[in-house]
A and B are shown apart, each in its own frame.
Chain A
């Protein structure tokens, strides 16, 4: 059992390549235990102890399975109807839900699928009551129940939209409220339904919650139809939907039919949710509406690419999930697909090229590195500036001057160990060279760089003082932050505006000694 749990955790952690081996091991260990007849599978067939011949036959069916490779080829060749249908159906649904979900995610309504699924409950109860009332015994007619579910799912989504629009309550609270009120109404109605005489209401509550592995061809055709509609609409209204997602107020002010676009989106979400719910189960639909777009978000900021990426992730998790579920016994299809999606999410979270954790950490590190270097060199410049007689040190003076760490440390709010680390990095970058104990000198490039940085900084200070009316005591801190992002064009612009000759470093507009304002 423990190995199984580990196997499941591995799927979740996204260690995709390890999974088959682990689950395979778990399965084999299960076979091993079966000999002593207390395994799980044998529990499901307790007659194994009574020795009924047919049951042994089933056991053999279950246990004597071909090798992983041959099973894989059986799955991938799509020889079995069920594998074929589930693979195709979930992949199409994954792509469709991924695309619709992108817009919902950007509208900050990622969880609306969950709301729709739960809001459908009273619809099912009411449809049942109405049909039973019209003609007893017909209460479980599926199209009728679906209609009720769709009507209330839509009502739920529209309620969220209305609360969001007409009150100061945010979308997330609107969703939570709608979900709980509709679901509560459904729960109350179900206690009534189970008491209505003549109604065979058993299982009604989960009646519309399908099982992923039980997909049939008709479901797939339905998915194909919905996918076509979604793709066509998404392509037709890409621009409008993009504006709606990023700047609703702008869209409204520009005269876009915001209300109808919103309604269109909600209609799509409700359709995908209800159709998906009755065929593959609610949890899978909710997950495919959220996980693929959330994963795609880490790779791009462009909504078009994000839509494509979400479709891709949705399709991939469905595909791989289904393959895993078809390869190993007792891997609940919907759950495995969700977990595969979650693994892809975890990978995107880590490695995403745009907002991924590693990229972000690297950028942060680089920024810190740059900031440290700039601070160090500017401090050096100021140190030399104080030491030489002429207000602005020349290039040679910069290079010749011996810099003592003891002097440097008083220039900024840093301690000696931080400073040593910065200097060490600068040495590696070829900006400074070691000349004795705590004595350092700027290299050719270092001196050049120090002059450039000091110049940028002071230009910026002057710009701020001249145009933004900032008191001199506040100037330096702002300038410190901004000089790291100054680009050459902006510097040219500043020089032009401040009428400064090129290359010369202007005199600082405030005192440069002391560590606090530095």
Chain B
């Protein structure tokens, strides 16, 4: 009874609104129409890293929008009504997956189940290559982009899915995917080289929270962090003391700040080491969950990884050009 009445009320509301709207299109439906009109596919992506790949693959054929701008924590991103309208209006949606987008993922899966072209770019990465804590099967670490070779696999996924959606230009997508992947290969090589140039005894990546495990695995720099992945995760006093021990014993020259975590968390480690007579520097700010400012080199995927690798290598005593792989870095990464 109650439900039915409610439903009819809902319908009344809709009717009344539809009448009052006479002549004014609902905002949600217009986007795709506009883009289709100028022949472009409207693609909505979640994070900047995904949008960067999609833009490279789709080129001029698509209008790519990233919901999460620079410096947004994808775990805790809160979508608003306008985001949902954009998603509803998009021709294709790409998201990162592996629960990076938290609660949004279930909605994406739901949309995909209804036959909408909604894809996770990490879907085709072999499970064996994902860093999955043994006890927690089915919950792989989602920070895949920190391993360039692995992230490069997502380029194929994007090109294939786009080709299926727009078979006419499928070859074109594959071609640009290959070009981009070649670039990524160069990036991967560069990162490997500069990290390898760090003296082995100093090769430790110490950060505020656990987001660089993939980076650690593929470039061979062990990572230690003050706290775990979850925002709520909190270290114990013993953990901090051990970290200080480790820094002092191995004479690690620098530790790193992340753009998304209050650097005060790392200050205590620096001071702890200082009291034991070892001066640890802040090696610079790393981009962990989001890329740099839009329109800058660091605001692209390549720039982001270039920045991280260069900053880490230079701070830990390795050899890396000050301006990075392509001489485009805006900051030296030193603080």
**A45 partner, pick from B77, B222, B231, beta carbons under 8 A:** B222
Q: Cβ of A330 and Cβ of B236 under 8 Å apart?
A: yes
Check B55 for interface membership: any CB of A closer than 8 A.
Answer: no
Which of B67-75, B86-94, B97-105, B175-183 makes up part of the contact surface? B67-75
B173 to chain A, nearest CB (A): 29
- Kindly report which residue of chain B lies nearest to residue A145, judged by CB atoms: B262
**Chain A: CB-nearest residue to B262:** A207
Residues of A within 8 A of B220 (CB): 47, 52
0/1 interface trace, chain A 307-327, chain B, CB 8 Å (1 if under): 000000000000000100111
Cβ-defined contact, A191 with B262, below 8 A? no
Are the CB atoms of A210 and B78 closer together than 8 Å?
no
CB distance from A497 to the nearest CB of B (A): 68
The reply on A190 being an interface residue by CB < 8 A is yes
CB distance from B75 to the nearest CB of A (A): 10
- Does the CB pair A61–B237 fall under 8 Å? no
Once the chains are docked, how many angstroms separate the CA of A407 from the CA of B241? Answer: 78
Give the shortest distance, in Å, between A106 (CB) and chain B (any CB): 31
Complex Cα distance, B231 from A155, in Å, reads: 27
Distance between A1 CB and nearest chain B CB, rounded to angstroms = 8
Tell me if B240 and A82 are in contact (CB < 8 A): yes
A216 to B275, CA, bound (A): 11
Within 8 A of B (CB), among A48-91: 50, 52-55, 57-58, 61-62, 80-83, 85-86
Residue of B nearest to A84 (CB): B275
Contact assessment for A191 and B80 in the assembled complex, using a CB-CB cutoff below 8 Å: yes
User: Of the candidates A62, A191, A210, which one forms a contact with B242 in the assembled complex, judged by CB atoms under 8 Å apart?
Assistant: A62
- Whether B268 and A215, one on each chain, are in contact in the complex, defined by CB atoms closer than 8 angstroms, is yes
Contact residues in B for A57 (Cβ distance below 8 Å): 250
CB contact under 8 A between A202 and B290, given known A194-B77, A195-B69, A213-B240: yes
Q: Say yes or no: is A29 at the interface (Cβ < 8 Å to chain B).
A: no
User: Which of A238-246, A332-340, A505-513 sits within the interface?
Assistant: A332-340
Within 8 A of B (CB), among A324-359: 325-336
Q: Judge whether A61 and B259 touch: CB under 8 Å.
A: no
Which of chain A's residues have a CB closer than 8 A to the CB of B246?
A: 58, 61
**Contact between A203 and B234, CB atoms less than 8 A apart:** no
Tally of contact residues, A, Cβ under 8 A: 63
Question: Do A200 and B235 touch across chains, with their CB atoms under 8 A apart?
Answer: no
Q: Given A200-B293, A203-B73, are A214 and B265 neighbors across the interface (CB < 8 Å)?
A: yes
Interface residues of B in 53-73 (CB under 8 A from A): 68-73
Q: Does residue A281 face the partner (Cβ distance < 8 Å to B)? A: yes
Q: Is A43 an interface residue (CB 8 A)?
A: yes
A199 interface residue (CB < 8 Å to B): yes
**Chain A hits for B271, CB < 8 A:** 81-82, 85, 216-217
**B131 part of interface (Cβ distance < 8 Å):** yes
B200 interface residue per 8 A CB criterion: yes
Name the contact of B259 in the complex, choosing from A46, A194, A200, A333 (C-beta under 8 A). Answer: A200
Q: Is the CB of B239 within 8 A of A329?
A: yes
Residues in A neighbouring B324, C-beta threshold 8 A? none
Q: Does A40 belong to the interface (CB within 8 Å)?
A: yes
Task: List B contacts of A194 (CB < 8 A).
Answer: 68-69, 72, 77-78
Q: Is the CB of A214 within 8 A of B259?
A: no
Given contacts A57-B250, A211-B227, A213-B268, contact A43 B240 (CB under 8 A): no
Say whether B222 contacts A80, CB under 8 Å. Answer: no
Q: Shortest CB–CB separation between residue A98 and chain B, in angstroms?
A: 21
A340 to chain B, nearest CB (A): 13
CB closest chain-B residue, reference A55: B222
B156 at the A interface (CB under 8 A): no
Q: Does B133 make an interface contact (CB < 8 A)?
A: yes
Whether A82 lies near B272 (C-beta < 8 A) is yes
Whether the pair B238, A58 counts as a contact (CB closer than 8 A) is: no
A331/B78 in contact, CB under 8 A: no
Given contacts A43-B134, A47-B216, A82-B268, contact A61 B245 (CB under 8 A): yes
**A83 CB contacts on chain B under 8 angstroms:** 237, 241
Q: Is the pair A210, B241 in contact by a Cβ cutoff of 8 Å? A: no
A284: nearest residue on chain B (CB-CB)? Answer: B234
B72 x A201 contact (CB < 8 A)? yes
* A85:B78 contact, CB within 8 angstroms: no
A212 within 8 A of B: yes
With contacts A200-B259, A210-B262 taken as known, whether A44 is within 8 angstroms of B210 at the C-beta atoms is yes
- Would B259 and A335 count as touching, CB distance under 8 A? no
Tell me, in angstroms, the Cα distance from A47 to B242 when the chains sit together: 19
Which A residues touch B245, using CB under 8 A? 61
Cβ-defined partner of B135 (8 Å) among A38, A46, A61, A336: A38
Q: Does B188 contact A (CB under 8 A)?
A: no
Q: Are B238 and A325 in contact (CB under 8 A)?
A: yes
Interface residues of B in 217-263 (CB under 8 A from A): 217, 220, 222-224, 226-227, 231, 233-242, 244-246, 249-250, 258-262
Q: Are B135's CB and A332's CB within 8 A? A: no
Q: Nearest CB to that of B81 among chain A residues?
A: A191
A13 at the interface (CB under 8 A from B): no
The reply on B294 being an interface residue by CB < 8 A is yes
* Candidates A200, A327, A331, A332; contact of B70 at CB < 8 Å: A200
- Nearest-CB distance from B258 to chain A (Å)? 8
Residues of A close to B314: CB separation below 8 A: none
- Which residue on chain A has the smallest CB distance to residue B220? A52
B319 at the interface (CB under 8 A from A): no
Q: CA of A160 to CA of B78 in the docked complex: distance in angstroms?
A: 28
Given A44-B210, A58-B222, A81-B275, decide whether A335 and B71 contact each other with a Cβ distance below 8 A: no
Which A residues lie within 8 Å of B134 (CB)?
38, 43
Q: A191 vs B290: C-alpha distance in the bound complex, in angstroms?
A: 16
Q: Does A436 lie at the interface of the complex (its beta carbon under 8 Å from any beta carbon of B)?
A: no
Residue A197, interface by CB 8 Å = yes
B69 touching A329, Cβ below 8 Å: no
Q: Choose one: B131, B237, B249; the contact of A86 (CB below 8 Å).
A: B237
Whole-angstrom CA separation of A198 from B80 in the bound complex: 19
A205-227 Cβ-contact flags toward B at 8 Å (1 or 0): 11110111111110000000000
- A177 within 8 Å of B by Cβ? no
Which of A61, A191, A216 is within 8 Å of B267, CB to CB? A216
Considering the chains assembled together, what is the distance between the CA atoms of A81 and B269 in angstroms? Answer: 9
Which of A8-56 touch B at CB < 8 Å? Answer: 38, 40, 43-47, 50, 52-55
CB neighbours of A216 from chain B (8 A): 264, 267-268, 271
Known: A43-B134, A81-B275, A194-B77. 5 other contacts (CB 8 A): A82-B268, A201-B72, A206-B231, A214-B226, A325-B236
Taking Cβ atoms with an 8 Å cutoff, the residues of B that contact A are: 68-73, 76-78, 80, 131, 133-135, 200, 203-204, 210, 213, 216-217, 220, 222-224, 226-227, 231, 233-242, 244-246, 249-250, 258-262, 264-269, 271-272, 274-276, 289-290, 293-294
15 contacts between A and B (CB under 8 A): A44-B213, A58-B222, A81-B244, A81-B275, A82-B268, A83-B237, A83-B241, A194-B68, A198-B70, A200-B71, A203-B258, A203-B260, A203-B261, A206-B262, A210-B262
Closest CB pairs A-B (n = 8): A200-B71, A203-B260, A202-B260, A81-B275, A332-B234, A326-B237, A214-B268, A331-B236
